A and B are shown apart, each in its own frame.
Chain A
Amino acid sequence: MSRKKIIAAVAAASLLALTGCGANAGAGNSAAAAGDFPKKGKSIDLIVAFSSGGAVDTAARLIQPVLEKELGTNVEVINKPGAGGQIGYTALTGAKPDGYTIGATGSPSVVVSPLDPARGAKYTRDSFQPLGRQVIDPTVIAVQPDSPYQTLKELLDAVKAKPKSLTASTTGIQTGEHFALAQIQESTGSEFAPVHFSEGASQATTAFLGKHVDVLVANVSDVNDLSKQGKARVLGVMSGDRAPSLPEIPTFKESGYDLTAGTARGYSAPAGLPADVAKKLEAAIEKAIEDPAVVQKMKDLGLQTSYLNGTEYQKFWAGQEDDFKKVLPLVQKKD
Chain B
Amino acid sequence: MGRAGAALTLAAVGSFIGGTIATVGLVAAAKPLGEMGLLVGPPEFFALMVVGISLLVALAGKSMVKALISGALGLLISMVGIDPVAGAPRFTFGIDNLMDGVSFVAVIVGVFGLSEILSFRRSEPTPVVHAPGFRQLFPSRTEWRRSAPAMARGTGVGFGLGLIPGMTGSVSSLLSYATEKRFSRFRSELGKGAVEGVAGPETANNAHANAALIPLFTLGIPASPTIAVLMGAFLQQGLTPGPSLFTEHSEIAWAIIASLFIGNVLLLLLNVPLVGLWTSILRVPTPILTAVILVFMVIGAYTINFSVFDVYVMIGFGLLGLALRNLDIPLAPMVLTLVLGPLMERSLRESLEISQGDFTVFTSRPISAVLIGLGLLIICSPLLKLRKPKALMEDPEA
Contact = CB atoms under 8 A, between A and B. Distances in A.
Interface string A129-171: 0000000000000000000000000000000000010010000
A267 interface: no
Contacts of B39: 210
Contact of B236 (A61, A82, A120): A61
Nearest to A334: B86
A90 interface: yes
B100 A87 contact: yes
A119 interface: yes
A4 B356 CA distance: 61
A18 B308 contact: yes
* Contact-residue size bin, chain A (C-beta under 8 Å from the other chain): 35 or more
A194 B166 CA distance: 20
Contact of A52 (B42, B219, B232, B298): B232
A199 B222 CA distance: 12
Nearest to A52: B228
B366 interface: no
A142 B287 CA distance: 64
B311 interface: yes
Contacts of A80: 100
A113 B87 contact: yes
B87 A297 contact: no
Nearest to A165: B356
Contact of A82 (B42, B82, B166): B82
Interface string A310-331: 0000000000000000000000
B165 A51 contact: no
Contacts of B227: 52
B232 A58 contact: yes
A83 B354 contact: no
Contact of B40 (A10, A65, A210): A210
B144 interface: no
Nearest to B97: A94
B49 to A, nearest CB: 15
Contacts of B38: 206, 209-211
Contacts of A195: 42, 350, 353-354
B354 A206 contact: no
Contact of B85 (A7, A61, A94, A196): A196
A157 B165 CA distance: 34
Contacts of B99: 87, 90-91
A18 B287 contact: no
A291 interface: no
Interface string B270-297: 0000000000000000011011001100
Given A11-B295, A53-B221, A205-B221, A198 B85 contact: yes
B193 interface: no
Nearest to A10: B291
B287 A86 contact: no
A275 interface: no
Interface string A4-18: 100100110011001
Contacts of A77: 232
A52 B88 contact: no
Nearest to A90: B99
A249 interface: no
B353 A15 contact: no
6 contacts: A7-B291, A57-B232, A61-B235, A83-B84, A120-B87, A167-B353
Given A18-B302, A90-B96, 8 more contacts: A52-B232, A61-B235, A62-B236, A91-B100, A172-B85, A193-B354, A195-B42, A202-B165
Interface of B: 38-43, 81-89, 96, 99-100, 121, 165-166, 215, 219-222, 225, 227-229, 231-232, 235-236, 238, 240, 242-244, 287-288, 290-291, 294-295, 298-299, 302, 308, 311, 346, 349-350, 353-354, 356
